[in-house]
Amino acid sequence: MKLYITGSVGSGKSTLARKIGGMGLPSFELDAVVYEPDPDSPGDNRKRPETVRDAVFAEILARKSWVMEDAGRPCFVKGMEEADQVVLLEPAAFVRDFRILRRWLRQRAGKEQCGYRPDFLMLRLMFRWRRDYDRGKDGLKKRLEPFAGKLVILRGEKEVRAFLDKLREEVYGGLSGIPADIGQSGAGAGRRL
């Protein structure tokens, strides 16, 4: 099974990928393909050279199954092409804004890891990226058009839960006795390369 999860900042991509990873599917945060840790750089990370990024991405694509999450960068459109399903998370703007602020506060307090420096500039950028998505400036919805036949749009927690329930049944073949919390614990969290 191959799933590509996308959406704006704060849409829940990483959380959904972790939950699906908890079902035993290998899960990858594509931010970790683009950036590598670098404590000496201003943002605590630096971009990998494109050739390295593309080689790492090709290794992921070559796997039998994967779950990848990303904001839908053009350099990863091949993931959308090869995915069995493309999942677009689209909760309300106020939900995303709340999540952005909550995550940033947790990162500032050291309670949540991140691959960048959680300063005020980053917070401002995250809100701008969220607005760019809503206005179509990031081009994500345009990039998703060719994949309409395999696109699943989830707009709220109820839809996400129903999607996870259906996926859990597919992964485990409808076996009885599979605990309902499998895929919800965060086990098998998104892999940071």
Examine the pLDDT at 192 and tell me if it is beyond 50. Answer: no
List, as one string, the DSSP characters of 100-137: HHHHHHHHHTTSS--SS---HHHHHHHHHHHHHHHHTT
Examine the pLDDT at 46 and tell me if it is beyond 90. Answer: no
Q: Which residue has the tokens 């070559």?
A: 62
Please name each of the domains of the chain with its CATH number.
2-91+139-172 (3.40.50.300)
Which residues have CB under 8 Å from 181's CB, separation 6+? none
- Mean pLDDT over 142-146 rounds to 96
pTM to 2 decimal places: 0.86
Query: What burial letters (b/e) apply to 14-31, b meaning 16+ CB within 10 Å?
Result: bbbbbbbbbbebbbbbbb
**Beta bridge partner(s), residue 113:** none
Examine the pLDDT at 115 and tell me if it is beyond 80. Answer: no
Where are the extended beta strands (E) located within 35-104?
35-37, 45-47, 66-69, 85-89
Query: What burial letters (b/e) apply to 35-53, b meaning 16+ CB within 10 Å?
Result: bbeeeeeeebbeebeeeeb
- Mean pLDDT over 103-130 rounds to 92
**Beta bridge partner(s), residue 5:** 69, 87
Q: Nearest to residue 4, comparing CAs of 27, 24, 23, 22?
A: 27
Gyration radius of the chain's alpha carbons: 16
Of these ranges, 44-48, 156-160, 171-175, the one predicted with the greatest mean pLDDT is: 156-160
pLDDT for residue 45: 80
pLDDT for residue 37: 81
Examine the pLDDT at 184 and tell me if it is beyond 60. Answer: no
Burial of 174 by CB count in 10 Å (0-12 exposed, 13-18 middle, 19+ buried)? exposed
